Structure 1
Amino acid sequence: MTSILTNNAAMAALQTLRSIGSDLQQTQNAVSSGLRISKASDNAAYWSIATSMKSDNSAIGAVSDALGLGAAKVDTATTAVTSALDVVGQIKDKLVTAMEGSVDKKSIQEEIGQLQQQLQSVAQSASFNGENWVMAQSGDSASVVSSFIRGTNGTVSVSTTSYEFNSGATGNVLFGANNGTIDTSSGILGTQDSTVGASVFSLDITGMTGGQISSALNMVQTALNAMTSMNSRLGSISARIDLQTSFASSLSDSIESGVGKLVDADMEQESSKLSALQTQQQLAVQSLSIANSSTQSILSLFR
C-alpha cells in the first residue's frame, strides 16, 4: 500500500543517512585530531586512564626539570671541590719544598697565602641558584628531587635525595658558614689541627721547624683525603641523578606510547573508513531522493 501521508521508504532512508552522517562526523574528528578517543563520551574508561597518565607524564617532565636543576647544583659543588683539591695539592707541594732547610720559608709562605685565598674564593663562588654545597653550616642539609611516584592505591609522592652538611675536619664542606657568611674556622679546610695548631687555611710555616712542617704535611694530606671522600659522595649523588634522569626519560616515553595505544586513531583505518562513509552517504542521499520521488508516481493514477 502506498500512502501520500506516510512515506516509510523515505523515513528509513533518512534514518540511514543520519546514522551515516554521525559516523562520518566521528571519523572526520578522529582524522583531524588524530585521536580515536578525545572526550569521555567516546570511551569513559580509556579516557579516564589516559587523562591520569597524561597528568603523571607531565609531572615526570617537571621531575626531569628538577633533576636538571639538582644536577647543576651537584656539578657546581663537584667543580669547586676538584679545583680545591688541585690548590691543596699545590700547598702540599710547597710544604715538601719547605722541608729543605735552606729554602726561604717566607717566600714559600707568600705562595701558600695566595693559594689559601684562592681556596676561600673557590668556596664562596660555588653557588648555584642561591645554594652553596661546599660552604655551609653544620647540621644543615640540601636535597634534590629524584623521582615522582604513583602508588598502587592512587596516591602520588615525590622522593628526594638529601646531602647532609658537616663542617668538621672530615665533613662534607670545605668551609663552614654563619648566616650565609663564610666561616674560615670550620670545615675541612678551616678546622684547626691540634697537633699543628692551625688549619689548612690558617697555616703559616714561616717560623716552623722541620718537624712542625712534617706535621703540617700530614694535616694537609688528611684534608686531601677528606676532600676526596667529599667528592666521592657528590659523585655518587651525581650518578644517581644521571640514572634517574635516564629512567625518567624512558618512563615518559613508555607512558606516552601507552596512552597513544589507548586513545590515538589508526590513521590508515580511519582513512579507509572515511572513504567508505563518504560513498555510503552519497548512496543514502540517492536512496532518499528515490524514496521521496516515489510518491510522484501516484499522480499518474489520477490522470
Structure 2
Amino acid sequence: MSSILTNASAMTALQSLNATNKNLATTQSRISTGMRVAQASDNAAYWSIASTMRSDNQAMGTIKEALGLGAAQVDIAYTAMDKVKQTLDTLKSKLVTASQPNIDKSKIQSEIKELQNDLKTYAESASFSGGNWLSVDKSSTAKVVASFLRGADGSISLGTIDVDTAKTALFNRDANQAGLLEKGAALTAASGAGIAIYTGAATPVAGTVGADTLPGTADDTAATATFGAHANFALDGNDAISFEVTLNGGTSKTIRIDRDTITAAGLANGAVTSAAEMATVMTQALKSAGLDSKVAASVAGGALVLTTTEKGPNATIAVANGASSDNGNFVDATSIDITAATSGQLSQYLQGVENMLSAVTTAASDLGAIKTRIGSQQTFVKDLMSAVDRGVGALVDADMNEESTRLQALQVQQQLGIQSLSIANGSAQQIMSLFRG
C-alpha cells in the first residue's frame, strides 16, 4: 500500500542514517582525541580506573622529583665525607711524622691547624636546600620520599628512605650526642654501658683509672698495678675505654678496650660479667697494644691486677690517663695540639685519628649504599610510571588502525543511507503522477 501520510521506507532509511551518523560521530571523536574512553559516559568503570591511575602517576612524578633532591643531598654529603677522609689521612701522616725524634712539632702543628680548619669547612659546606647531614644542631632521622603506595582498601601512604644523622654527623652541637670527629661523653653505670676500669677506691669512679707506680723490691719481685673491684658491664658498637701503661719508666702505651676487643677475647654481646672475664679481655687488649709479652693480667681478691714480666728493683708499672667514650673518640679532631705532646699523647692522638678514619669510612659507605638505593628507586619509579601509562592506555586508548577502517566503512554507509532516504522520498513523488491529467 502506498500512503502519503506514512512513508515506512523513508522512516527506516532515516533511522539507519541516524544510527550511521551517531557511530560516525563516535569514531570521529576517537580519532580526534585518540581515546576510546574519553569521558565517564563512554565506559564508567574504565574511566574511573584510568582517572585513579592517572592521579597516582602524577603523584609518582612528584616522588621522582623528590628522589632527585634526595640524590643531590646524598651526593653532596658523600663528596664532603670523602674530602674529610682524605684530610684525616693527611692528619694521620703528620702525627706519624711528629712521632719521630728531634722533630720540630710546632711547625707540624701549624700544618695540622690548617687541616683542622679544612675539616670544619667541609662539614659546614655540605649543605643542600637547607639540610646538612655532616654538621647538625641535633641528631635526627632525615627522610627521602621514595615511593607512593596505595593499599588494597584504597588508603595511600608514602615510603621513605631514612638517614640517621647520628651516624653521619661529623660535628653535633647537641651536648648529649658527639659527632664522629668529636670527643665522646664519658660512660657511666647509669647509661647501661658500665665502666670496666676503676680506681682502687672501694666505690667505682666513672671514667677514671688509677694505680700506684710500684717498683719491685727484690730481684724476684715483679711490679704490679691493682684496679678496683670489678663490676659487670657491656659495651655497644661505639663505646670504648682507654688508659696508658708505662713500663719501667719508658714509653707509654695506650690500651684500648672496645666491643671488638671483647669479641676477640671470645665473649659475646660486648658483655663482661666477671673479674676473670675482665682479665681475659685485658689480655687481648695488651696483645693488641704489643704488651702481652711484658705485662700479664690476672685476678686477685675480685680485682684486676697487671703484673710485669720483668722483675727486680728496676721493674715499674704505671697506669694513668684513664677515660671512657660513648663514641670511641677520646679527643676532638679539631683540638689536637702536638706542640708539647708526649710520646704517649701522640700515640693516643694517632689512635684517635685512626678510629675517626674508621668511623668516617663506615659513614661514607652508608651514604654510598643510600645513594645506590636512591638511584635504583629512581629507575623503578620511572619504569613504574611507564607501566601505569601502558595500563591506562590499554583501558582507554583508541586503536587508530581499527578506527580508521571503521571511519571509511561508516562514511560509505552514510552515503548509502542518504541515497536510500532519497529513493524512499522519491516514491512519494511518484504518487503525484497518478493525479495528473
Fold shared by both chains (TM-score > 0.5): yes
CA distance in 2, matches of 1:22, 1:187: 74
* Structure with more of its chain in strand, by fraction: 2
| Contact 1:137–1:165 (CA under 8 A) maintained in structure 2 | no
Q: Which residue of 2 aligns with 1:239?
A: 372
Q: Which residue of 1 aligns with 2:264?
A: none
Tell me which amino acid in the other structure corresponds to 1:162. D
Counterparts in 2 of 1:107 and 1:17: CA distance versus 1, 3 Å: same
| Contact 1:109–1:204 (CA under 8 A) maintained in structure 2 | yes
CA distance in 2, matches of 1:88, 1:139: 23
Residue pairs, 1:149-160, within 5 angstroms: 149-160=149-160
SS at match of 2:134: coil
CA distance in 2, matches of 1:45, 1:141: 42
Of 146, 160, 172, which aligns to 2:168? 172
CA distance in 2, matches of 1:250, 1:172: 31
Residue pairs, 1:189-204, within 5 angstroms: 189-191=181-183, 194=323, 198-204=331-337
What's the CA shift string for 1:269-290, capped at 9, x where partnerless? 0000001101110111111111
Can you give the 5+ residue segments of structure 2 that lack an aligned partner in the other structure? 185-241, 243-322
Of 310, 325, 341, which aligns to 1:208? 341
The offset of 1:177, in angstroms, is 2.9
Task: Report whether the alignment pairs 1:266 with 2:399.
Answer: yes
Of 360, 363, 381, which aligns to 1:230? 363
| Contact 2:180–2:356 (CA under 8 A) maintained in structure 1 | yes
| Contact 1:101–1:210 (CA under 8 A) maintained in structure 2 | no
Q: Which residue of 2 aligns with 1:12?
A: 12
| Contact 2:136–2:171 (CA under 8 A) maintained in structure 1 | yes
CA distance in 2, matches of 1:136, 1:177: 6
| Contact 2:331–2:352 (CA under 8 A) maintained in structure 1 | no
Tell me which amino acid in the other structure corresponds to 1:290. I
Counterparts in 2 of 1:267 and 1:102: CA distance versus 1, 3 Å: same
SS at match of 1:5: coil
Residue pairs, 1:1-303, within 5 angstroms: 1-166=1-166, 171-177=167-173, 186-191=178-183, 194=323, 198-303=331-436
Q: Give the TM-score of the pair, scaled to structure 1.
A: 0.93
How many residues are matched?
294
* Structure with more of its chain in helix, by fraction: 1
Tell me which amino acid in the other structure corresponds to 1:49. I
The offset of 1:6, in angstroms, is 1.2
CA distance in 1, matches of 2:363, 2:136: 13
CA distance in 2, matches of 1:204, 1:296: 118
The offset of 1:209, in angstroms, is 1.9
The offset of 1:118, in angstroms, is 0.7
Point out 4+ residue stretches in structure 1 off by more than 6 angstroms.
none
| Contact 1:148–1:156 (CA under 8 A) maintained in structure 2 | yes
CA RMSD of aligned residues (A): 1.7
SS at match of 1:187: coil
Task: Indicate the structure (1 or 2) with the bigger Cα radius of gyration.
Answer: 2
SS at match of 2:161: strand
The offset of 1:263, in angstroms, is 0.6
SS at match of 1:201: helix
Relative contact order, CA 8 A, sep 6+: which one is greater?
A: 1
| Contact 2:31–2:400 (CA under 8 A) maintained in structure 1 | yes
| Contact 2:330–2:352 (CA under 8 A) maintained in structure 1 | no
CA distance in 1, matches of 2:434, 2:331: 125
| Contact 2:109–2:337 (CA under 8 A) maintained in structure 1 | yes
What's the CA shift string for 1:65-109, capped at 9, x where partnerless? 111111111111111111100111110011111111222111111
Counterparts in 2 of 1:110 and 1:210: CA distance versus 1, 3 Å: same
| Contact 2:146–2:159 (CA under 8 A) maintained in structure 1 | yes
What's the CA shift string for 1:28-81, capped at 9, x where partnerless? 011111101101111111111111111111111111111111111111111111
What's the CA shift string for 1:163-196, capped at 9, x where partnerless? 2232xxxx43111136xxxx9x941112269589
The percent identity for this pair of structures is 47
